[in-house]
Structure 1
Amino acid sequence: MIDTKTQGQVAEHNARQFLEQHGLTFVEQNVRYRFGEIDLVMKDGCDWVFVEVKYRSESHYGGAVNALSAAQTQRIRKAASHYIQLNRIDAVCRFDVIAANPQGIDWIRDAF
């Protein structure tokens, strides 16, 4: 049995590979601030994409797709805003969610 931290790391690795196969470019992973974290930072052409990766082994309660709370969304937005300021990014940005489960990956563009 794999622990949840390891499952999350595997899901992030798989999400990165999936997005790269779909033409996105990897920038950074696991960007942490005291008030929030960004799982993946990618670029889609000139657009910056902040990706939240959610993994659920079970589909109970809506599975990975419905695992993102309003509070988590706010923390990710705050972290992305800080990242944008620190890196002086002046470009279109969006928030995507990769919802992974044992059956596969769902990519939700402009999730929030």
Structure 2
Amino acid sequence: MKRETSYNKGRQAEHLARDYLQTQGLRLTQCNYRCYFGEIDLIMEDSKNLIFVEVRYRRNGRFGHAIESITATKRSRLITTAQHYLQQAKVGQNKPCRFDVVGVTLEPAGTYNIIWLQDAFRAD
């Protein structure tokens, strides 16, 4: 039962992040791209870039902000998954790519704090 709750909260955070990024002018290409190497929550585009977005959710900021929870192992999996996507997909191959992170934290008042960190890390 607890896993179901965490899963639902994660999906809700992804929807909040997607809606927020769309209000910032990004266009959604794909949600939840999965392959053997891992999953990319959102793949989006702007006029210049193909953007791989990792969404992180925290129920509160007591143990640090959601953005701070991305480990070197997670970054490596995201990069490998993005490379797989680029090999399989025909969209966005001529655009530069970047990795963004969106942190969603539930505030004590019951509202969500969304922080968008553009170009959070690089593949090289």
Shorter-chain TM-score bucket reads: over 0.9
Question: Matches of 1:78 and 1:111 in 2, distance apart?
Answer: 16
User: Residues 66-81 of structure 1: matches in 2 within 5 Å?
Assistant: 66-81=68-83
Question: Matches of 1:60 and 1:80 in 2, distance apart?
Answer: 31
Report the counterpart of residue 110 of structure 2 in structure 1.
none
**Alpha-carbon distance, 1:60 to partner:** 2.5
**Alpha-carbon distance, 1:77 to partner:** 0.3
Q: 1:9 aligns with which of 8, 11, 15?
A: 11
Any gaps of 5 or more consecutive residues in structure 2? 108-112
Question: Matches of 2:86 and 2:94 in 1, distance apart?
Answer: 8
Any gaps of 5 or more consecutive residues in structure 1? none
**Alpha-carbon distance, 1:86 to partner:** 1.2
Report the counterpart of residue 65 of structure 1 in structure 2.
67
Note the alpha carbon deviations across 1:28-73, whole angstroms, 9 max, x for none: 0000011111000000113100000000002133120211011000
Q: For this pair of structures, how many residues does the alignment match?
A: 112
Question: Matches of 1:106 and 1:24 in 2, distance apart?
Answer: 15
Report the counterpart of residue 101 of structure 2 in structure 1.
97
Please tell me the residue identity of whatever aligns with 2:83.
S
**Alpha-carbon distance, 1:74 to partner:** 0.3
Give the 4+ runs in structure 1 shifted more than 4 A.
none
TM-score (norm 1): 0.94
Structure with higher Rg: it is 2
Q: Does 1:111 align with 2:99?
A: no
